[in-house]
Amino acid sequence: MIETTLDIPAIRKDFPILQREVNGQPLVYLDNAATSQTPQQVIDAIVDYYQRYNANIHRGVHTLSQEATDAYEAARQKIQKHFNIAHPYEVILTSGTTDSINLVANGFTSFLKEGDEILVSAMEHHSNIVPWQMLCERTGAVLKVIPMSLEGELIMDEYHNLLSNKTKLVFCNHVSNALGTINPIKDIIDAAHKVGASVLVDGAQAAAHIKADLQALDVDFYTVSAHKMCGPTGVGILYGKEEWLKKLPPYQGGGEMIAEVTFEKTTYADLPHKFEAGTPNICGGIAFGAALDYMNSIGFEAIDQYEDELLNYATEQLLTIDGLKIYGTAAHKTSVISFNIEGIHPYDIGTIVDKLGIAVRTGHHCAQPIMDFYKIPGTVRASFSFYNTKDEVDKLVEGVRRARNMLL
Amino acid sequence: MTIKEIQEEIIDEFSMFDDWMQRYEYMIELGKSLPLIEEQYKTDDNLIKGCQSKVWVHAELDGDKLVFTADSDAIITKGIIAILVRAFSNQKPQDIIDADTQYIDEIGLKEHLSPTRANGLVSMIKQLKLYAVAYQTQLK
């Protein structure tokens, strides 16, 4: 029995895609860590924008442009409020987490010198590794890795040992996409600040499960992608402390990011527009606001409690399958289960359960260093959202058991 | 048997199954029966690029015919390469170059594969044909 105050059947009706069939079977969508599904309320916001007030923002004096500008800036304020950010101009709307990280990594080029150190956690996905490697190549800074245990938890003693006055930046995800681990980011941030280092937390995986209070965390940068929290693809945020956003140079040139342009010299716009070159994803930004409204109307506390119950039930049931091993058994986890069955390649399991209408992710989840750590080619990853049900967990377990029997 | 005859035999075998679960089961059986590549040939050089799982293919001449051995770390992929090896192995390089692969469509393999696996299948066919081209040149 899974207890919840949520009306799951009613919630499921908000998601039209959950009514469809895949390979003749009702869809069981368990790839929420890659992208979550979109409720009708968000789809309506997208349709409404294109049907009623599609226009470019900030520069137009006509009514449609004003309406679009108001809606876009209202979305920024919703984001500000949701993450308890001090000022709306500390919310930079980007194309998503990867874009946000690259913005910071590029901006830091002029702040690092040879021999400076950057710490990155061992459980990052490629988007939070590669931009920093590129930054190190540009500046001569050194990338050091905060190791993790076999359970998939960061070894905090080792982290403290790595910190020194050479450490300038620390990068860590709030939640690991491949393992589901919730990292102790408050401790990580506080320790980094003690040695004068700044911290970027990749909140892409956390945002759908945890309502982060960014002022309380005192984090320097935080990134989010809308499509992992019931919003559209191609939009997200970079939160940055005002002092940092003022110091960092613009990432891209053109459009809204200018104050004045002559052929001799260009001056840049104030925050947040300094980092928002070109026409932004206007509809996406507005729909992101609608997604936050939707998730808040359900309530993060109830979402967290229900997903936790789903995670525990699924973990218990999957472990009844012979040879099944779960990777990532941290004490604090979100609703992600990464697993393999001894002697079976994860792709094979993914292929068979797909024929049964069950969508799971297989592979290295863009986190190859984690797979190298466990010496495996990849995992099968089932990731749950608040619209999933116990019945769907049962279908997953039955599907994986069937796949095992076919493949071994 | 010619390549065409073997391909028709494979089409006949797959047509015996009503649903896709059975076809997958059969493909898995084919994978399990694949003549395995010798360990020394499971090198990065013999890996087929474009496959999400690992696929090794080795080719060598036996007289005027080309013999393929292969392996994969994923059993369904192994079944796919087994279907290709069965049609192309022990055939003359020129016949492999000239062979069409319509039978893959006829057994419905491609349409039932995920896009990544379908790309892998195309890479596998391309690689087998490239081996044939290379050995054909050698034979001349």
Cα separation of A396 and A26, whole Å? 12
Q: Is the Cβ–Cβ distance between A179 and A340 less than 8 Å?
A: no
CA-based angle A91:A72:A280, to the nearest 5?
Answer: 75
Of A345, A354, A406, the CB nearest to B53: A345
Which parts of chain B register pLDDT below 70?
50-52, 110-117
pLDDT at B136: 86
Number of domains, chain B: 1
Q: How far is B121 from chain A (nearest CA, A)?
A: 14
A354 CB neighbours in chain B (<8 A) are: 114
Of A347, A354, A355, the CB nearest to B74: A347
A56-107 residue pLDDT tens: 999 888 999 999 999 999 999 999 999 999 999 999 999 999 999 999 999 9
pLDDT at B106: 84
Minimum CA–CA partner of A345 in chain B: B74
Cα separation of A148 and A164, whole Å? 19
Confidence band, pLDDT 50/70/90 cuts, at residue A276: very high
A147-205 residue pLDDT tens: 999 999 999 999 999 999 999 999 999 999 999 999 999 999 999 999 999 999 999 99
Cα separation of A234 and A236, whole Å? 7
Is B84 a known active-site residue? Answer: no
A6-55 residue pLDDT tens: 999 999 999 999 999 999 999 999 999 999 999 999 999 999 999 999 99
Contact partners, residue A171, CB within 8 Å, separation at least 6: A101, A118, A119, A120, A121, A124, A128, A132, A199, A200, A201, A202
Q: How far is B73 from chain A (nearest CA, A)?
A: 7
Strand duo A142-146 + A117-121: pairing: parallel
Compute, in degrees rounded to 10, the torsion defined by CA atoms A301, A302, A305, A306.
Answer: -150
Helix (H) or strand (E) holding A380: strand A379-383
Beta strands in B46-122 (DSSP E): 55-62, 65-72
CATH number of the domain residue B128 falls in: 3.90.1010.10
Segments forming the whole domain that contains residue B90: 3-137
